[in-house]
Amino acid sequence: MKTPDKIMRYRKKHPDYTLKQLARRYKVSVPYVWKTLKDQYINPTSFKFAYPNYCKICSFEINNRSKLICSKECRDKYYYMDILCDVCLTPIKILKSKYWWKVGHGQRRFYHNRRCYYLGRQEKL
């Protein structure tokens, strides 16, 4: 039996096998497996894990093409940053976009609550 036929048969028995796994099993390249399936009118992208992605933060493999970030923790790191309260140095978690927006609008000092806000204002005066 030719390799493409073997791949086809195997793929039918194991529909959730990835291109990478098939390639490894038959010692061929991923594009080769892809082409084989395409030639047989099987949509290669119907593979669940056909094209792994890598987390933008920790480089962990993500088995979902549309996801950029692997976990909630990484998502937090991606979107949030830690700054310190100007008065008491309490860490403040802030959306990066919000932070840069505020800095862009002239804000230089950040406070973790109202009390520190008032203290900080008094100090300034």
Rounded to a whole number of angstroms, the minimum distance from the CB of residue 75 to Zn ion is 8
Decide if residue 90 touches Zn ion (CB under 5 A). yes
Check binding of 101 to Zn ion (CB under 5 A).
no
116 lines the binding site for Zn ion (CB under 5 A): yes
Q: Any contact of residue 57 with Zn ion (CB under 5 A)?
A: yes
Tokens linked to 25: 């099993």
Binding of Zn ion at residue 23 (CB under 5 A)? no
Residue 118 CB, shortest distance to Zn ion, in Å, is 11
Residue with Cβ nearer Zn ion (60 or 100) = 60
β-strands 61-62, 80-84: how paired? unpaired
Residue whose token pair is 């009390």: 115
Residue 11 found at the interface with Zn ion (CB under 5 A) = no
Size of the site for Zn ion (CB under 5 A): 12
> Given candidates 39, 58, 98, 118, which one binds Zn ion under the rule CB under 5 A?
58
| Shortest Å, Cβ 90 to Zn ion | 5
**Termini Cα distance of the chain:** 85
Strand ranges (E), 1-125: 53-54, 61-62, 80-84, 91-95
Nearer to Zn ion among residue 46 and residue 59 (C-beta): 59
Nearest alpha-carbon partner for 82 in 72, 93, 96: 93
- Residue 8 near residue 36 (C-beta atoms within 8 A): yes
The two most distant CA atoms of the chain are separated, in Å, by: 85
